[in-house]
Homo-oligomer: A and B are copies of this chain.
Amino acid sequence: MAKFYSRQELNFQLFENLDCLQLTQIPYFADHSEETFKLILDSADQIARKKLYPLLTEMDRKEPTLEAGKIKIHPEMKAIIRQFGEDGWINATFSYAEAGQQLPWTIHLAAGFILQAANYSASVFPFLTTGAANLIRTFGSRALVEKFTPKMYSGEWQGTMALTEPDAGSSLSDLSTSAQPTDEEGVYLIKGQKIYISCGDHDAVDNVIHLMLARISGAPAGTKGISLFVVPQKRADSGESNDVLTEGIYHKMGYKGAPIAHLMIGSNKGCKGYLVGEPNLGLKYMFQMMNEARLGVGMNAVAIATAAYQASLTYAKERPQGRKIDEKDLSKPQVPIIAHADVKRMLLFQKSITEGSMALILYCTKLSDEISHELDEVIKAKQEALLDLLTPIAKSYPSEMGLQSTSAAVQILGGAGYTTDFPVEQYYREARIHPIHEGTTGIHGMDLLGRKVLIHDGLGWKMLNQEILKSISKAKLTVGCEALALIVESYLANANATANILLQKSKEGPAIFLADATLFLELCGLLAMGWMWLNQARSARERMARVESDQNFYLGKMETANYFMEYELVKIKSLAERLKSSNYPTIAMKEDWF
């Protein structure tokens, strides 16, 4: 079977670079150990290899269909979803009291990465159910939890997040799905339309539980009047229709195996929704989960790009073509294309993007695991500020660069990469969704510069500086990492200078301040990657000094860190030059000049 990820790399990330075992010192995770963590990874590896990867191509070629109002998906998905349930996969991070395993999210997502790398479409189903169940258990009443979550955990029911409407995509304040109170407390009549609902309907489960945003009659306009509801496709008790009808299915460029539905809700006035938590706090609840979903999307992007990287690496080692650049003797056999500098550049590019992004996402999930159990409010506030700042970066950099990375994989395969004989073209199509869903890159740029850099008197940005400076100090004391530390230090200074100029600009109003928010997000992505590669280089050096095995692996890490600083981090210079400019073509350009 083709290699779609490297377990050695994943182990390095978790146990050497991140030191995830620190989490076991938190009482909630105390029963865990390196052994239990590795068992979870093994279990994910098994199902990924035996069930998911073999269906990768087939799920792409045989798309879900809508027949007589019901979406039909690949027939093998039913057993796979049930197995996720039976393995305890869906509620693994939840407490023992909820029949969970109290697994750190870090390990859950690292194991999820294996599933995603094997078959992104198939991995979407349990991921969404976990997110939806998590909203109910966190903000819902005990009655709602008991009514809905057990069959979600078992994989009998699907969970979804139902936000988008025809007239409200990025602009959530314009949501118009309505909720009319009924005589029954907490029960509302829901009416509206939702579009782009992932796994919004399919025949591998008995019911679909939508976590849906809607507006209670009389609620304030904008985001302050949005409430969260549990809206089942069928009534939980009777199994009768709850008037959530599948109006359409979207056909899309990639991850075709996961169905995306257009739903009509309450068009026959028969849709009951159950209020979660307080009225008008729906968006706040949803965002708490969406931050996790955003890191999840970052990991999806890493997973697809990793599978593409591994496919192109295998090809580059096997495919003979041409000779070394200083070889003139044509009677010599051709060399594998990995011998060519430009092919190595494209491999180093992919390695640097995928492994650097993985390090960043796992850094964030560990922070999240720590925050969930931190008792000291001051420490917690600082950690939260840092995580809030990093979330748009950890969602967007892997998503945007994941496209470039899978594109490099296609390029390495050349004409072969463009055909359906190899999986890289599928990865290229699948990767394209990530800069769009869970907030477009443009939205995250505004979130980063317009909110996360500013709030709490810039606490998040200060924390970022503090943590990067810690890494720089440690690296300066590590033989072989001094030069890398100085490079990151200089780019940190450049990033700070740029941020300060932008803050000055904020006095000229939001239009000028935020005109290039997307570019600032890109700059911060590069800075965060530089930081992560500095950490990885130090981890590799420390390990090399202690153990004699796997020297090639660690030498590869060191050289990839070097690559990143030389080829990628240097892009900060051009970005910073643009960001400091006071010439604004995107504001000056009039709509009718296009």
Contacts and interface: CB of A to CB of B under 8 A. Distances in A.
B562 A321 contact: no
Contacts of A421: 250-251
A559 B589 contact: yes
A418 B436 CA distance: 8
Given A563-B589, A590-B555, A341 B415 contact: no
A567 B585 CA distance: 9
B445 A331 contact: no
A589 B510 CA distance: 46
Contact of A425 (B167, B252, B553): B252
Contacts of A221: 330-331
A322 B171 contact: yes
Contacts of A410: 432, 436
A425 B428 CA distance: 12
Interface string A559-576: 110110011001111100
Interface string A516-529: 11110000000000
Contact of A586 (B326, B344, B411): B344
A122 interface: no
A549 interface: no
Contacts of A594: 313, 338, 347, 351, 556
A588 interface: yes
A247 interface: no
A504 interface: no
A403 B407 contact: yes
A345 to B, nearest CB: 5
Nearest to A558: B593
Interface string A326-358: 100011001010111111110110010000000
A505 interface: no
A239 interface: no
A170 interface: yes
A334 B174 contact: yes
B419 A511 contact: no
A196 B587 CA distance: 46
A342 B574 contact: no
A414 interface: yes
A204 interface: no
A420 B437 CA distance: 16
A585 B563 contact: yes
A345 B586 contact: yes
A233 interface: no
Contacts of A418: 252-254, 432-433, 436
A189 B133 CA distance: 70
Could you say which of A351, A519, A560, A593 has the most chain B C-beta atoms within 10 Å of its C-beta? A593
Contacts of A347: 594
A35 interface: no
B573 A338 contact: no
Interface in A450-485: none
A169 interface: yes
Contacts of A365: none
Interface in A176-222: 195-196, 221-222
A440 interface: yes
Contact of A562 (B169, B341, B583): B583
A590 B253 contact: no
Nearest to A345: B586
A270 interface: no
A493 B195 CA distance: 53
Given A429-B253, A562-B585, A552 B593 contact: yes
Interface in A221-271: 221-222, 250-254
A75 interface: no
A334 B195 CA distance: 19
Contacts of A415: 164, 169, 195-196, 436-437
A490 interface: no
Given A334-B171, A433-B418, A588 B559 contact: yes
B517 A342 contact: yes
A403 B348 CA distance: 21
Given A341-B516, A348-B586, A573-B574, 11 more contacts: A171-B321, A171-B322, A196-B415, A251-B419, A252-B418, A351-B594, A411-B435, A411-B440, A553-B593, A559-B588, A571-B571
9 contacts: A170-B322, A251-B420, A342-B442, A348-B589, A411-B441, A562-B588, A566-B581, A573-B573, A573-B574
